[in-house]
Structure formats: structure tokens, C-alpha cells
Amino acid sequence: MGEQKIRIMDTTLRDGSHAVRHQFTKENVRQIVQALDEAGVPVIEVTHGDGLGGSTIQYGVSLVDEMELIEEAVKTSKRAKIAALLLPGVGTKKELMQAKDIGIEMVRIATQCSEADVSQQHFGLAKELGLETVGFLMMAHMLPPEELAEQARLMESYGADTVYIVDSAGTMMPDDVSDRVDALRKVLQIPIGFHGHNNMGLAIGNSIAAIKAGALNIDTSTRGLGAGSGNTQTEVLVGVLSRLGYETGIDLFKIMDAAEYIVNPVMHDQMIINRDALTIGCMGVYSTFLIHAKNAGEKFGVDPRNILMELGRRKAVAGQEDWILDVAAELSEMKG
């Protein structure tokens, strides 16, 4: 039986932005936030899929400016905290201050797992603004547990209230997750979180492994809507945790209905583990590369799996989306 409450942070309106090609409307945000809030979801993240300032040609242009979406979320939510994601180098202090003025209460500051040092000034500003702060160590499978823990300790020293182990590629096994949570627990005084993707069908299992190892915060996405084959599915995890005796404060039937009747109709595709998503998991490639690789594959007449395999070989990470077209062009020339 679980003894402590698990805090769910729902990323449908952020990670899910990738899966709908950043086409969320204000009405989508209003309906989804209202449904999640009424179900008792405590934190709802709303931004472009690549965070504040992510609406660009490189990452994908949003249909509606994210500040308008954040404003709609803040206006709609009655209980849930509205959070924003910030990747230093994509978003700037300017966007963070603007989002704070609109009404976010939390910022999740994300870096490549080995580059926590680039986040210091952003954590500093966030604390000055009175925001709750979450550190996000992306592609966490790329560092051994002890080295990852050192990066987490840096984020804690900068002012993070929580640090997340982020399985951006959906490539971790449950033992990988447990080992990393254990390593962070040994050096941190703050809570630990886990963000999983389902490219190998392990998002729920890995989230449970994280909780069993001591993580108190778990990222989810309603109906699994997210990059790659999607995220840990909110309504499923709530059901599983209920069976295990953990408290989340989320009403199971209401979150089921939110998934079925509110989120499902706005999805472009169902979240399934297809051949390309599985390749991402097997190769340890950033989940957000999936749609870009498919588009590049069509443009250059090459198998997206070959693009993803080459990106994995090159150890491509967030911010290197421009490599995808380069790789596709090179593979097309080799084939020709």
C-alpha cells in the first residue's frame, strides 16, 4: 500500500502539442483544462511542445500563440496549477516573465541531462518571480545514475523544488528508472519526479518503478497524447495507482471521461507503438523527432527508421532537429 500522495502533472497540453502538430486552439485548451481540473488533476502544463518560445520553423509553428493558450488555461482552471515548460536557449527570460504575468504558478526548466549548468539563471529568475520550480533532466538514459545525480544536485543548488528524471526516448527499462531514482535520493533533499514515454510499452511500468523507488511526482498525458508513441497515460496510471493503494486526488471516472470525450476527439492519431516509435525506443532517440523523421522520410524517399537509427548513432538530442533533414538528404544520396 502506498503511504504518500503521488502528484500527477498532466502534460496533454504541452507534450501532446507534438502529436497534434502544435494545432491546439483556445477552445481545445478551455475544454481540456476544465475537464482535467474538475477531475482533480493538480498540475496542468500548457505551452508549445518545445516549451516557451518553441513556435518556430525548426520546431513547428503553433496555430495559436502559446501566451493566448496559457491565458485561456489560467482563466479556466479553478484549482489546478498551470505550468509552463522552458528550455534555456529556446525560451528566454522574457517569455518566462510574460507567462508569469499571465498567471502560471510553476515553471519546469528542461536541459539535456548533462547540461544542468545552463539553467542557473532561469531558476534564479523563477524563484525571484515566486514560481514553483521543477528541473527536467532530458534524455536521462544517456548518463549513468551517479552522474545524473550530480546534475540533479546542480539543479537543486540553483533553486529547483523538484527534479525530474526524463525518459525522453522511452528507452529505459524499469531497473534503469529505479537505479536513477535511487541515485538521486542519495544526494537530494527535494522530491524526485519521473516523465516517461511509451515507445517500448513501458511508460506505466516505469512510472510504477519510479514510485516504488521513491519518486513522488509523475508526468502523465490524458489518453497518452504526446510525442513518439505518447506518454504515461493519465487515466490508466490513476487506475493502477488506485489498485496499488496510492492516493492521487484524481477522480477515476472523471479522468476516464475527460480522455474519452474531450481529449480523444482532438487527437490526429491514436497513440500506438508502431514501427517508427519502437525504433525510437530501441535506438534511444528523442521522441519528438518522430514526426520530423516521418516528414523527412517522405520528402527524400527514405525509410524513417533509417533516419532515426542514424540520429541514434550520432546521439542527437533536443535542439538538433536540423540534423533530421541533413541525415535524410545524406541517406537519399547514398541510396541514389
Q: Binding site annotation covers 195?
A: yes
Q: Binding site annotation covers 326?
A: no
Q: Binding site annotation covers 168?
A: yes
Count of residues for the chain?
336
Residues with Cβ within 8 Å of 283's Cβ and at least 6 positions away in sequence, in order, are 169, 171, 308, 309, 311, 312, 313
Residues with Cβ within 8 Å of 317's Cβ and at least 6 positions away in sequence, in order, are 112, 138, 139, 142, 286
Positions marked catalytic? 18
The cell 481540473 sits on which residue? Answer: 37
Nearest to 100 by CA among 121, 127, 61, 120: 127
Report which residue type is found at 21.
Answer: R
Please check whether residue 221 is in contact with residue 185, taking contact to mean a CB–CB distance below 8 angstroms. no
User: Measuring CA to CA, how many Å separate 196 from each of 56, 140, 173, 315?
Assistant: 25, 10, 11, 19
Q: Binding site annotation covers 15?
A: yes
Annotated binding site: 14-15, 168, 195, 197, 286
Annotated binding site for substrate: 14-15, 168, 195, 286
Annotated binding site for Mn(2+): 15, 195, 197
